[in-house]
Amino acid sequence: MSAKRVLAINGSPRRSGNTATLLEEALKGARDCGAETELVHLYRLRYRGCISCFSCKRKDREHGICAMKDDLSPVLERIREVDALLLGSPIYFMNVSSGFLAFFERLFFSNYLYSREIPTVFPKVMPSALFLTMNMTEAHVEQFRMRERLDMLEMTITQHFRMKPRQLWAYDTYQFDDYSRYESSIFEESAKMASRTNKWPLDCQEAYRIGRELASSHE
């Protein structure tokens, strides 16, 4: 049997930040199960979100293809070829990053039809995972009803990939190498450090486990 191809999409501008680290861990897990892996940093690319041209909905055009041609085009094509997809974004203003959202629009709106019979033209069942990293603690996530706010992500992914994404929400992330150099009095550095020391390694382990699981799933 040929090796599974696992693609990860980093929706953070930081190439070695929390989101990228979790994605790298997951890819390591996938590689340890024999998969071939790739990582795309969205913020290295020049592209825009959906411009609502509706080319993807025209009856006389091929569906599932975004007509915008830019650095994202080969990434969207690659997604159709791989066997599993890892999506990662930091939380910015209670949402995914703008770069990630622009990517999300392009990928999923082009595969969506305003059709009762055919809700998606994405060509196959796609195992996937969603990694979100944030400053908020788990208590904040509940307080601000973040799961409900971001429900659209899971719903949309499930509709197009025909299976739910695995999810990892990494709370209370460490944002700066040295908190003393930044105005950051709303954070208790010792609490952040405790989270970095005790919780973050578990998040990384969970990412690694998800990567292994996706690389060995039989979907």
Ligand X SMILES: Cc1cc2nc3c(=O)[nH]c(=O)nc-3n(C[C@H](O)[C@H](O)[C@H](O)COP(=O)(O)O)c2cc1C
- If the CB atoms of residues 11 and 165 are measured against ligand X, the closer one turns out to be 11
- In terms of Cβ atoms closer than 10 Å to its own Cβ (0-12, 13-18, 19+), residue 11 is buried
Minimum CB distance to ligand X, residue 119 (Å): 31
Q: From the list 4, 6, 19, 128, which residue makes contact with ligand X (rule: CB under 6 A)?
A: 19
Q: Which of 8, 18, 25, 210 binds ligand X (CB under 6 A)?
A: 18
User: Closest distance between ligand X and the C-beta of residue 96, in Å?
Assistant: 10
The dihedral through the CA atoms of 41, 46, 52, 54 has a sign that is negative
Interface with ligand X (CB under 6 A), residue total 17
Pick out residues in 45-74 that bind ligand X (CB under 6 A).
none
Using DSSP, state whether 33 is helix, strand or coil.
coil
The secondary structure of residue 4, as a DSSP letter, is P
Query: Least distance to ligand X from the beta carbon of 28, Å?
Result: 17
Site for ligand X in 87-126 (CB under 6 A): 90-94
Token couple for 16: 């070695």
CB 62 within 8 A of CB 114: no
Structure tokens at 196: 């970095």
Q: Which residues bind ligand X (CB under 6 A)?
A: 12, 14, 17-20, 90-94, 133-136, 173, 175
